[in-house]
Amino acid sequence: MKVKHNVFFVTGGGSGLGLATVHELVKLGAYVAVLDFDEEAGEKVAKLLQACVIFCKCDVRSEEDVKKAIKAVDTKWKGKKIGGVVHCGGVGMAGKTVGNDGKPFPLDVFTETLNINLVGSFNVARLVAAHIIATSPPLRSYKTPDSPEVTEDRGVIIFTSSVSASEGQMGQTAYASSKAGVEGLVLPMARDLARYGIRVVAIAPSIFSTAMGASTPPKVREGLLRTTLFPARFGDPHEFAQLAVAVVENSMLNGSTIRLDGGSRMSKM
């Protein structure tokens, strides 16, 4: 599927990986709806890129917020094809199961992390996918064996997972389990949406030079770089954006998680 002239939703598009993805999509001729909870950051992007971008304040957990964003896209770019969503909105949360003070990790913090990273991913994906289906031509009916196959690439859902999903470090129970859940969405959702010509892929980055990456303690940073094969540095958000675009454009990428990690493997701390 081509990027040019299509409309994409980018959650977390006001900063970090999402912001880099917005710039890359616009550079290639796309229209982008930036969904972000940070109103100041989102409006800044929309003001900078003007006609190519709209900002919608959005809590990814909120059905109402996402539906408002979809409606805003229909109003702004009526009749244009929806290319899909790049879901970068999420939070990082550190804390051991039982801390050094003997206190258990707060259950409300654990729940909130899963709600934002996992439930939010599913919420955005289901609503955007339903909108793509509703605005697409009639689909193949599985009740009629001789009906034509759907061969057109009608859209793609791109989730952001993390290498922590399979290699979570100490203190990452909440974050790692939320990202493992995101990876668990990919294959069954790709199977659900295949008949509509919609693909589902996750990108699992290692530590990148974003606000979340900057908060990594120096000792942890050093350990991560020691296990990175090449290049021995933190990833650049633009490299994530390049891969997201490659996923959009390559119709054979479906139902899987792609690591973006320089060959790194996380140690326990």
**Interhelix angle for 173-193 vs 120-134, to 10°?**
20
CA–CA separation, 130 and 136 (whole Å)? 10
| 23 residue type, one letter | H
Cα gap 16→68, rounded to integer Å:
24
Q: Give the DSSP letter of residue 105.
A: P
Cβ atoms 57, 39 nearer than 8 A: yes
Q: Of all residues in the chain, what percent are helix, strand and coil, respectively (each to 5)?
A: 45, 15, 35
Catalytic one of 31, 142, 175, 196 = 175
31-36 and 7-11 as β-strands: parallel, antiparallel, unpaired? parallel
Say which residue the tokens 């290049």 belong to.
231
Q: Which residues pair with 89 in a beta bridge?
A: none
Does the annotation mark 175 as catalytic?
A: yes
Q: Report residue 201: phi and psi, to 5°.
A: -140, 150
Kindly list the catalytic residues. Answer: 175
